[in-house]
Amino acid sequence: MARMTLQDVARTAGVSLATVDRVLNGRPGVNADTAARVRAVMQSLNYRPDRAAMRLARGTGHRFCFVLPKGNNAFMLALHREVLDAGRRFAADRVDVDVLEVDVFDGEVLADALHLLAGRVDGVATVALDHPSVRHAIDELTLSGVSVVTLVSDVPNASRTHYVGIDNVAAGRTAGSLLGRFVGGRKGKVGLIAGSLALRDHIERQMGFEQVLGRDFPELDVLPVREGRDEDEQVERLVAGLLSAHDDLVGVYNAGAGTGGLIAALEASGRGGEVVVIAHELTPASRRHLLRGTIDAVINQNPGHEVRSAIRVLLAAREGMPIITGQEQIRIDVFIRENVPALADGAAQGG
Amino acid sequence: MARMTLQDVARTAGVSLATVDRVLNGRPGVNADTAARVRAVMQSLNYRPDRAAMRLARGTGHRFCFVLPKGNNAFMLALHREVLDAGRRFAADRVDVDVLEVDVFDGEVLADALHLLAGRVDGVATVALDHPSVRHAIDELTLSGVSVVTLVSDVPNASRTHYVGIDNVAAGRTAGSLLGRFVGGRKGKVGLIAGSLALRDHIERQMGFEQVLGRDFPELDVLPVREGRDEDEQVERLVAGLLSAHDDLVGVYNAGAGTGGLIAALEASGRGGEVVVIAHELTPASRRHLLRGTIDAVINQNPGHEVRSAIRVLLAAREGMPIITGQEQIRIDVFIRENVPALADGAAQGG
DNA sequence: GTGAAAGCGCTAACAC
DNA sequence: GTGTTAGCGCTTTCAC
């Protein structure tokens, strides 16, 4: 049983190749009866389109652009690396991938950057601030025919095709539950650090975290959230403050970046052993401290998976193909010392 | 800057298409100097092969076969479903995927099945027993030009192209560490159930588990491993036995399937609240009990990811392409109540 | 409404 | 050693 081609369908349906193609791609200009007949033949011959032939004939490539935050946050750098890497791989499939670095914390700047992309690319993946101008820019991009996906942090009311990232409320809840259980029944205070309360992701993590601690661990007292601005120095200062103000501090959850500062403050205080630490994102630093025992658990989202997923989703949108829901669902990874993945040998890490 | 084609390379190098093709694919019959010149031109023109054109011209499809265990183990059924689903998707890329169900616990039967596949398919992915006949069958398949990957459970000394699955020792260690921490300092006995000690995966999990408990949780006593044969009834009987023999049972780790039986025994005893339960694989049943609190954590490997990874690895082997190491690394998922993924709407789940 | 025909970028015979 | 050429299965003008 060889593969059926459009030729086979055309021949058995008694029409020309062009007609079958029109039917296949839902283009107008075909008599309803003819179309029905052709469809029937496709069914009975079990015809499956050949993607390689389709791409070759269409000849059209895709230009995608990733809009990422400027700065040297380890996770964002990893995302950037993954984009470059994925770009290299997808080149063989005629997709060109670019990166644009902007200050995503400034809604107007981000919105301007997005506007500029209209007409220059076919798809955009952006780590976006949930801000009126940004929402508007996304809607306009979509209207102008560009496919848009949000990455890592969502903009729920914008007309994006898809959100590629984890459920951050659930991530916060996961952190809360692990912290509560790891504290092991002791009573005391728990510190909560976010990067910035401008991006949705950190707010959502905070919500989830407080929700679980309030519900399941009444013996723990969550201190008011502090903004660490994703910077080591700032986080270090905050944690040092918490440690000196509360000698019953039994846990700290860093919902943002800057975990290096958290560790530094803890080590300086000599109280590392008694404080349970939950952080986000597997970076060289967090990995090291996880193995060493300074960090108890890392909640992670896989940057490689996110980038490839964004590209696949954009491609599917462009080629009118369905996506594999399961494959595009980004999981909330929980890493403890025992299951940290081995360092991948190249730049790429994750699945 | 438009895409460069082989034509462009040929023209600027002053040779014919065929010569450039020979260089590109490392085929013999080209003067070393000519080859060098062609390669230089490719570089300078930044030539990137077009995969669609290549596939179309080669015209050759791929036939892959998944050899899976017979039976109604929920995880294996999920794997099976994922293979069918992936087969549907990959059809557009000219790959045909079949499933062969055999009794993998019988080395001779499995070896015979593998032998039969020689010449009939281009690639095989198998959940394999580590047994001399199986090892030999894999080696022969490889010699006959079939690409082979092991799936879920490895056969380390066979000439397989790749192992697609998790590090089971690490999975066992992860289970041990979580169980130990969740028990929260109480003293007592811990039950350990494996499915069968014939497949490597369960033995490896046992090793990892015992290693961590022995090292990090000396207050816990691991009882001798029992074989639950991956069946609910058998596991239920074993756990009921453990419960009645040890009233200081504080935890149970089921390294195999049959978790339904574990739960049943626990519920019948009325001691569910005091026993920490760690199980493997996210199934409808384990998911339900995780949410309900009967199971404390599930260690999971993503069947959808494993199947797609196996196909990608086999495809890469056939087409002489490199694989993305990070993407093909199967992670050890840790799921607690707070981060269980939402049920995917189709058959497919996982990324 | 429908069909004929010229490619898309590469591969593989076969000829020189 | 190297070049010519006829496709692979589809899309897309353009003609009828």
Give buried/exposed letters for A236-258 (b at 16+ CB in 10 A, else e): bebbbebbeeeeebbbbbbbbbb
Instruction: Report the chain A residue with the minimal C-alpha distance to residue B58.
Output: A52
pLDDT at B321: 84
Rounded to 5 degrees, φ, ψ at B42 are -55, -45
Interface test with B, best of A327, A330, A333, A349 (most B CBs within 10 A): A327
> Does B58 contact strand C, using a CB cutoff of 7 Å?
yes
Judge if B146 and B235 occupy the same domain.
no
SS3 content of chain B, % helix, strand, coil (to 5): 50, 15, 35
How far apart, in whole angstroms, are the C-alpha atoms of residue A220 and residue A240?
20
Judge if A172 and A114 occupy the same domain.
no
Judge if A25 and A114 occupy the same domain.
no
Judge if B17 and B30 occupy the same domain.
yes
DSSP letter, residue A69: E
Would you say A167 and A200 are in contact if contact means Cβ atoms under 8 Å apart? no
CB atoms within 10 A of CB B3: 14
Q: How far is the CA of A54 from the C1' of C9 (A)?
A: 13
How far apart, in whole angstroms, are the C-alpha atoms of residue B293 and residue B272?
9
Is B335 a member of any domain? no
B14-49 pLDDT per residue, tens: 999 999 999 999 999 899 999 999 999 999 999 999
Is A70 a member of any domain? yes
Please say if the pLDDT value at position B132 is more than 50.
yes
B271-299 pLDDT per residue, tens: 988 999 999 999 999 999 999 999 999 99
Residue pointed to by tokens 């490895």: B154
pLDDT at A344: 64
Cβ contact (<8 Å) for B339 and A181?
A: no
Cβ contact (<8 Å) for B51 and A184?
A: no
Q: Count CB pairs under 8 A between chains A and B.
A: 166
Cβ contact (<8 Å) for A325 and B345?
A: yes
How far apart, in whole angstroms, are the C-alpha atoms of residue A213 and residue A250?
13
Is B103 a member of any domain? yes
Mean pLDDT (chain A, rounded): 93
**If we measure between CA atoms, which residue out of A151, A164, A82, A202 comes closest to residue A330?**
A164
Mean pLDDT value across residues A260-287? 95
B343 vs A48 pLDDT, higher one: A48
Please say if the pLDDT value at position A110 is more than 50.
yes
Cβ contact (<8 Å) for A326 and B171?
A: no
Judge if A185 and A110 occupy the same domain.
no
Quick one: tokens of B26?
A: 């490392």
Residue pointed to by tokens 């991009």: A141
Task: Output the pTM of the full model.
Answer: 0.93
Burial class (CB in 10 A: 0-12, 13-18, 19+), A39: middle
A133-170 pLDDT per residue, tens: 999 999 999 999 999 999 999 999 999 999 999 999 99
A245-254 pLDDT per residue, tens: 999 999 999 9
Q: What is the CATH number of the domain that holds B24?
A: 1.10.260.40
Q: Among A48, A52, A55, whose Cβ lies nearest the Cβ of B91?
A: A48
B280 vs A104 pLDDT, higher one: B280
Total number of domains in chain B: 3
Is A216 a member of any domain? yes
Pairing of strands B147-151, B123-126: parallel
Q: How far is CA A122 from CA A64, A84, A315, A317, in A?
A: 6, 18, 9, 10
SS3 content of chain A, % helix, strand, coil (to 5): 50, 15, 35
Q: Which residues of A touch B50 (CB under 8 A)?
A: 56, 92, 94
Please say if the pLDDT value at position A177 is more than 60.
yes
> Does B198 contact strand C, using a CB cutoff of 7 Å?
no
Is B329 a member of any domain? no
Tell me the one-letter amino acid at B118.
A
Judge if A75 and A224 occupy the same domain.
no
Q: What is the CATH number of the domain that holds B249?
A: 3.40.50.2300
Cβ contact (<8 Å) for A92 and B350?
A: no
Would you say A281 and A301 are in contact if contact means Cβ atoms under 8 Å apart? yes
Judge if B128 and B213 occupy the same domain.
no
Q: Among A324, A329, A351, whose Cβ lies nearest the Cβ of B89?
A: A324
B245-275 pLDDT per residue, tens: 999 999 999 999 999 999 999 999 999 889 9
What is the edge-to-edge ordering of all strands in the sheet holding B162-164? Answer: B95-102, B62-69, B123-126, B147-151, B162-164
pLDDT at B99: 96
pLDDT at A239: 97
Cβ contact (<8 Å) for B94 and A329?
A: no
pLDDT at A71: 84
pLDDT at A198: 84
* DSSP element (H, E) containing A104: none
Would you say A182 and B183 are in contact if contact means Cβ atoms under 8 Å apart? no
Judge if A122 and A184 occupy the same domain.
no
At residue A196 the predicted structure's pLDDT band, cuts being 50, 70 and 90, is confident
Rounded to 5 degrees, φ, ψ at B123 are -150, 150
Q: How far is the CA of B53 from the C1' of C5 (A)?
A: 20
Interface test with A, best of B42, B312, B327 (most A CBs within 10 A): B327
Following DSSP, what letter does each residue of A265-283 receive, concatenated?
HHHHHT-GGGSEEEEES--
- Closest-lying nucleotide for B18 based on CA to C1': D3
Judge if B73 and B157 occupy the same domain.
yes
Residue pointed to by tokens 């890592």: A152
pLDDT at A346: 41
Please say if the pLDDT value at position B343 is more than 80.
no
How far apart, in whole angstroms, are the C-alpha atoms of residue A300 and residue A334?
6
pLDDT at A283: 94
Q: How far is the CA of A34 from the C1' of C3 (A)?
A: 14
Is B334 a member of any domain? no
| SS3 at position B280 | strand
Is A328 a member of any domain? no
Is B233 a member of any domain? yes
pLDDT at A279: 98
Instruction: Report the chain B residue with the minimal C-alpha distance to residue A338.
Output: B174
Mean pLDDT value across residues A123-129? 95
Would you say A48 and A4 are in contact if contact means Cβ atoms under 8 Å apart? yes
Q: How far is the CA of A18 from the C1' of D14 (A)?
A: 12
Judge if B174 and B210 occupy the same domain.
yes
How far apart, in whole angstroms, are the C-alpha atoms of residue A94 and residue A348?
21
Which residue range is the domain that position B115 belongs to? Answer: 60-164+304-322
Q: Among A181, A308, A341, whose Cβ lies nearest the Cβ of B181?
A: A181
Cβ contact (<8 Å) for B94 and A3?
A: yes
Mean pLDDT (chain B, rounded): 93
Mean pLDDT value across residues B132-140? 97
Q: Among B52, B184, B326, whose Cβ lies nearest the Cβ of A52?
A: B52
pLDDT at B347: 39
How far apart, in whole angstroms, are the C-alpha atoms of residue A155 and residue A164?
11
Judge if A189 and A292 occupy the same domain.
yes
pLDDT at A153: 94
Give strand ranges (E) for B123-187: 123-126, 147-151, 162-164
How far apart, in whole angstroms, are the C-alpha atoms of residue A204 and residue B109?
53
- Closest-lying nucleotide for B6 based on CA to C1': C9
Q: Which strand C nucleotides have any atom less than 7 A from protein CB atoms?
A: 1-14
Cβ contact (<8 Å) for A3 and B339?
A: no
A80-99 pLDDT per residue, tens: 999 999 999 999 999 999 99
Q: Which residues of B touch A54 (CB under 8 A)?
A: 52
Q: Which strand D nucleotides have any atom less than 7 A from protein CB atoms?
A: 1-14
Q: Among A170, A309, A341, whose Cβ lies nearest the Cβ of B331?
A: A341
Cβ contact (<8 Å) for B325 and A346?
A: yes
Judge if A32 and A73 occupy the same domain.
no
B56-86 pLDDT per residue, tens: 999 888 999 999 999 888 999 999 999 999 9
pLDDT at B31: 92
Q: How far is the CA of B24 from the C1' of D12 (A)?
A: 30
